[in-house]
Every structure is written in C-alpha cells, then in structure tokens.
Amino acid sequence: MTTAPFIQCRSLTRAYRKGATVITPLRELDLDVPAGDFVALMGPSGSGKTTLLNLIAGIDRPTAGSLIIGGVDLGRLSAARLADWRAASVGYVFQLYNLVPVLTAYENVELPLLLRRMPSRERHRRVALALELTGIADRHDHYPRQLSGGQEQRVAIARAIVADPPLLVADEPTGDLDGESAAAIMSLLVRLNRELGKTLIMVTHDPRSAAHARRTLHLEKGRLVADDRPNAEAAA
C-alpha cells in the first residue's frame, strides 16, 4: 500500500508579470516528498530555489499547478487560512535569522505560541524545551545583539520548532555563518530530522551542508534537472 506523499507538487508554476514580459522562476515542477524526508535544494543563483521554498512555506501562491501538503491544497486557502496553516504546519529558518531585536531569546521563541490559546505554564514548558533542544537555554534572557550568529540561528531554529510543526523550511541557514558554526547548525538540523521526524526542505549553496540531506534536488532556470539520493538506502 502506498500512502500519499507529504508534499505533492504537480506542474507547480510561479510566474511574475512585469509589463509585457513574464518571468517564470518556477516552471511546471513535479515533486513528491515523503514525510520525514530531508531535501537539499541546490542550483545557481536565480534558479528558483527560494521561489519553491516560499511556495512550500505557504508565504507565496502558485500561478498554476497544485501544491498539496499534508492533504491541504495550499492554492485554495484564503490569505487568513493560509496564515493559520503556517502557524500550525511550518517553521521557517532564515539565512539572516530575523530575530526581533527588542525581544529576548526566550520572547522571540515564544512568538509563535502567542498565536494559539495555551496556558502560560504549557507555553513556558514548550519554550524551555525548544531552547533546550537547540542548545541555547543558557542564553534565554539575552537580546539578539548579545548573541553570536550561530547562537542567533539556534534561537531562530528554536522559534521554528516551538509550535511543533511537521515541516521545517530553511533558506541558506548556514549562509552567513563561519565553517564551525555552520557545521554545528547542520548537525542540529539533522537531529531535528532524525530524532523528531521533521520533514526538512533546505536551500543551500554549500555541498558540505547538502551532504547531510537524504536527497538533493538541482534546479536550473526554474526546472528540476537532477534528483540525487546518495542516502536513499539509509532512508529506504
């Protein structure tokens, strides 16, 4: 028996109209990602990686084709429903962390939980757990400016997982970090995939980061040109 893939893209297309010209960063892409997979998206700059990631994260909408995640057809949701879907279903990790400078690490991680009704004890428990999992609990009362890049990214990852979404997306999460911090962040992401079973889609330029993924997709000019599964045996 085959179950439906967690993420299902069919002829997924994103186009921008600029006057008379139409730019199509993503062209009729077909893709299935099973739950619990770890996919690296690679390709030259401008090949459509971020475009695909943003569609999967529910912050952009397809121009054509369909995108179904966890049985939900994202193209059919209203803007408000899509916002609710994001809050429940996806954690976004940015290259530049995007922490709120006026909030402490703890308060930054707490932000997604304020979107749902929850006793404050439970909220506190979850924030503490997320900070613990990402190894940044000792800095919970620090402001972003008091943290290193690697530490900021840990806080950002804690924020992405605190609401326990099944899906994590990351756009060049180590792109702004030195080699050592990058390696530490990568092993954290791998643990989130292996131990917590998060489905993880990650854009990266760095082959060493991509090597941690179970599967690497290569995009070029908005089309999928290669789909490598070096670790396929491990997943199978």
Partner 1 sequence: MARLPLDYAVRNLGRSPLRAGLSVLGACLVVLLIIAAAGFVTGMSRSLRASGDDRHVILLGAGSEESIERSEIPASVGSLVAAAVPGLETSMGVPHVSAEVHVQLPVRATPDADNPRLLLIRGVTPAAMLVHRSVQITEGRFPRAGHDEIMLGSAAPRQLGLAESDLAVGSTLWIDKSRWTIVGRFAAPGTVMQAEAWTALTDLKAATKRETDSCVVLALGDAEFADIDAFARQRLDLELTAIPETRYYAGLASFFRPVQAVVWATALLIAAGGLLGGLNTMYAAFSSRVRELGMLQCLGYRRGAIVLSLVQESLLAASAGAVLASIVGLAMLDGLAVRFSTGVFGLVVDHTVVALGLAAGLALGLIGALPPALRALRLPIPESLKAA
Ligand X SMILES: Nc1ncnc2c1ncn2[C@@H]1O[C@H](COP(=O)(O)OP(=O)(O)O)[C@@H](O)[C@H]1O
Angle at 175 between CA 192 and CA 179, to 5 degrees: 80
Residue 70 near which of Mg ion, ligand X, partner 1, none (CB within 5-8 Å, type-dependent):
none
According to CB under 5 A, which one of 8, 50, 95, 108 is a site residue for Mg ion?
50
* Minimum separation from the CB atom of position 153 to partner 1 (A): 14
Site for partner 1 in 102-121 (CB under 8 A): 102-103, 111-112, 114-116
* Minimum separation from the CB atom of position 179 to ligand X (A): 22
* Minimum separation from the CB atom of position 84 to partner 1 (A): 6
User: HEC string of 172-188?
Assistant: CCCCCCCHHHHHHHHHH
Determine, following the binding rule CB under 8 A, whether residue 236 of this chain makes contact with partner 1. Answer: no
Determine, following the binding rule CB under 8 A, whether residue 35 of this chain makes contact with partner 1. Answer: no
Q: Which residues pair with 227 in a beta bridge?
A: 217
Helix (H, G, I), strand (E, B) or coil at 151: helix
Q: Per the structure block, which two tokens stand in for 8? A: 């299902």
According to CB under 6 A, which one of 2, 21, 45, 120 is a site residue for ligand X?
45
The DSSP string of 165-232 is -SEEEEESTTTTS-HHHHHHHHHHHHHHHHHH--EEEEE-S-HHHHTTSSEEEEEETTEEEEEE-TTH
Q: How far separated are the first and last CA of the chain, in Å rounded? A: 15
Q: Per the structure block, which two tokens stand in for 128? A: 């503490």
Q: Which residues bind Mg ion (CB under 5 A)?
A: 50
Contact residues: partner 1, CB under 8 A: 50-51, 54, 57, 59-60, 79-80, 83-88, 92, 94, 96, 98, 100-103, 111-112, 114-116, 159
Q: Which residues bind ligand X (CB under 6 A)?
A: 16, 23, 25, 43, 45-51
